[in-house]
């Protein structure tokens, strides 16, 4: 059965940023496909709620609250996941983000912080996981990037630059880790998560985003989670070094931040 290729029974996955939104949906999707899941985020209460959904799918959840920006935290996450489940097969690097700012308000530290948060943590966790992935026979890494890593829009200098770096990091890491470990990424568009709370509650902003998206709607976290599952499972077994665009067809930003001309 072709659908069996999307199953990952007995596998173990680590998902960062798993307390809500894309990370939470991904953890549940991987569990429904047969994986035990180690979930990490800063807020334990949110993780407990996601863990309940993982367990409702019949799989085990390991709640590992952490601030992955702290030195050594990403490495410790990989170690704790293996200590809890005995193996490691899938890494989903979902932690990321950066606040929009005008060009002249974007200082060097904003670029450095965005790079560390979006690329540095992903590298730390992936690097720490590699020996465990190899020990389990190989594995898959999925990085969550953004459409802003390939399109230009005012106010997204730090965020877009960091996500572009994450996308290319994916290509480079895939070459370094082939053939036993596959590394791919997803470039997401506008998705209905807490990051868009202001947009989702403002009819004008929401309409602007929907009308600026070729599919005329905002995406759902489960739609990204489905793509993660594809890349993490045997269904995506002949893909590595690729960036899958799950963005509703965007080729330019769909929200005007209203920044003035210089």
The two tokens of residue 11 are 């596998």
Residue located via tokens 């931040």? 257
The model's confidence at residue 104, banded by pLDDT at 50, 70 and 90, is very high
Q: What angle do CA 59, 64, 67 make, to 5 degrees?
A: 145
Cα separation, 194 vs 244, whole angstroms:
23
* pLDDT range class, residue 38, cuts 50, 70, 90: very high
pLDDT given at position 201: 78
Chain segment 111-129, per-residue pLDDT in tens: 999 999 999 999 999 999 9
**Which amino acids are annotated catalytic?**
159
Position 196 confidence tier, pLDDT thresholds 50, 70, 90: confident
Say if residue 193's pLDDT is above 90: no
DSSP 247: S
Is the pLDDT at 199 greater than 80? The verdict is no
Confidence (pLDDT) at 203? 84
Confidence grade of residue 1 (pLDDT, cut at 50, 70, 90): confident
- Total-model pTM: 0.96
Q: Give one DSSP letter per residue of the chain, joined into a string.
A: -GGGGG--TT-EEEEESTTSHHHHHHHHHHHHTT-EEEEE-S-HHHHHHHHHHHHHTT--EEE----TTSTTHHHHHHHHHHHHHS---EEEE---------GGG--HHHHHHHHIIIIIHHHHHHHHHHHHHHHTT-EEEEEEEEGGGTS--TT-HHHHHHHHHHHHHHHHHHHHHTTTEEEEEEEE--BSSGGGHHHHT-HHHHHHHHHTSTTSS-B-HHHHHHHHHHHHSGGGTT--S-EEEESTT-SS-S----PPP-
What residues contact 58, with CB distance under 8 A and at least 6 apart? 31
**CA–CA distance, 24 with 6 (Å, rounded to integer):** 19
CA dihedral 165→148→247→250, nearest 10 degrees, is: -130
Q: Is residue 25 classed as helix, strand or coil in its secondary structure?
A: helix
Task: State the architecture of 2-246 in CATH terms.
Answer: 3-Layer(aba) Sandwich (3.40)
């Amino acid at each position: 059965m072709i659908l069996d290729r999307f199953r990952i029974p007995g596998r173990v996955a680590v998902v960062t940023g798993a307390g809500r939104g894309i990370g939470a949906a991904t953890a549940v999707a991987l569990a429904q496909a047969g994986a035990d899941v180690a979930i990490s985020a800063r807020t334990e209460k949110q993780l407990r709620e996601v863990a309940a959904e993982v367990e409702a799918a019949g799989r085990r959840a390991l709640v590992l609250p952490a601030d992955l920006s702290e030195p050594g935290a990403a490495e410790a996450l990989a170690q704790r996941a293996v200590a809890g489940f005995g193996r490691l097969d899938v890494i989903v690097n979902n932690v990321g983000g950066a606040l929009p700012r005008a060009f002249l308000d974007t200082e060097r530290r904003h670029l450095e912080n965005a790079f560390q948060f979006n690329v540095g943590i992903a590298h730390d966790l992936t690097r720490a996981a590699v020996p465990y992935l190899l020990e389990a026979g190989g594995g898959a890494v999925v990085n969550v990037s953004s459409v802003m890593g390939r399109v230009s829009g005012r106010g997204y200098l730090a965020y877009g630059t960091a996500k572009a770096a994450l996308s290319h990091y994916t290509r480079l890491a895939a070459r370094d880790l082939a053939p036993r470990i596959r590394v791919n990424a997803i470039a997401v568009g506008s998705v209905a998560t807490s990051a868009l709370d202001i947009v989702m509650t403002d009819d004008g902003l929401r309409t602007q985003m929907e009308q600026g998206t070729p599919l005329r709607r905002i995406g759902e976290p489960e739609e990204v989670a489905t793509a993660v599952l594809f890349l993490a499972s045997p269904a995506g077994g002949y893909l590595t070094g690729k960036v899958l665009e799950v963005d509703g067809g965007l080729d330019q930003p769909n929200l005007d931040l209203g920044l003035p001309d210089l």
